[in-house]
Amino acid sequence: MVSPVERTDAQVVRDVLAGDRDAYRLLVRRYGDVLYGHALRMAGSQDDAADLVQRALVQGFQKLRTCRDTDRVGAWLFRILANLCKDHIRSPRRSDISLSALEGLLRGRSDPASDAEGAEVRSRVWGALDALTPEQREAFVLKHVEGRSYEEIAAVMDLSVASLKMRVHRARQALRGLLEEYA
């Protein structure tokens, strides 16, 4: 017998489609943190990030039968979220809180002195992402902040590696003004 924690993604999807709605909870637990982390880095607000992840997971449930590669349902959910994040960034209803307002969430808070010193730099670094298009920001965050390979990002985003590289290159070009801070 396979216990719930040992169920593969494909098995969980099959159970949900067979009517076991509660099995979807396993996918929420498996991918909630990854999805939330990406939404937070893209949206810049905890409330917006939670709302985006909630919408992505509910949409994922509603359209689960359209997921063809059920072994990679996590990547499929990520794609739903990524599209919602880009729409959110374009939306005029977006929260006024920008990425530069993430200071309270940023790492390295254990040293108050270094906090004070680094807060302004971090604020400028993350605030600079606001100047990028949603597609450029997504590509830059996935490549340089989340450290994913081009091949992995291209597969998740359904893009060619060449198109993806072009987005990252343009994002770097747009961020080159920040380089003076680190020269």
Instruction: State the minimum distance, in angstroms, from the CB of residue 115 to another protein.
Output: 11
Residue (1 or 21) nearer to another protein, CB: 21
Residue (2 or 18) nearer to another protein, CB: 18
Residue (11 or 150) nearer to another protein, CB: 150
Residue (93 or 176) nearer to another protein, CB: 176
**What's the CA gap between 182 and 143, in Å, rounded?**
19
Residue (11 or 37) nearer to another protein, CB: 37
Can you spell out the DSSP letters for the chain?
A: ---GGG--HHHHHHHHHTT-GGGHHHHHHHHHHHHHHHHHHHH--HHHHHHHHHHHHHHHHHTGGG-S-GGGHHHHHHHHHHHHHHHHHH-TT--S--GGGGGGGSS-TT-HHHHHHHHHHHHHHHHHGGGS-HHHHHHHIIIIIS---HHHHHHHHT--HHHHHHHHHHHHHHHGGGGGGG-
Instruction: State the minimum distance, in angstroms, from the CB of residue 153 to another protein.
Output: 12
Residue (3 or 62) nearer to another protein, CB: 62
Instruction: State the minimum distance, in angstroms, from the CB of residue 138 to another protein.
Output: 13
**What's the CA gap between 11 and 130, in Å, rounded?**
40
Residues that bind another protein (CB under 8 A): 19, 21-22, 24-25, 28-29, 32-33, 35-37, 40-41, 46, 50, 53-54, 57-59, 61-66, 68, 80, 83-84, 87, 102, 105-108, 118, 121-122, 125-126, 144-147, 150, 165, 168-169, 172-173, 175-176, 178-179, 181-183
Instruction: State the minimum distance, in angstroms, from the CB of residue 80 to another protein.
Output: 6
Instruction: State the minimum distance, in angstroms, from the CB of residue 1 to another protein.
Output: 24
Instruction: State the minimum distance, in angstroms, from the CB of residue 121 to another protein.
Output: 7
Return the structure tokens found at 115. 């906090």
Closest by alpha carbon to 37, among 126, 164, 146? 146
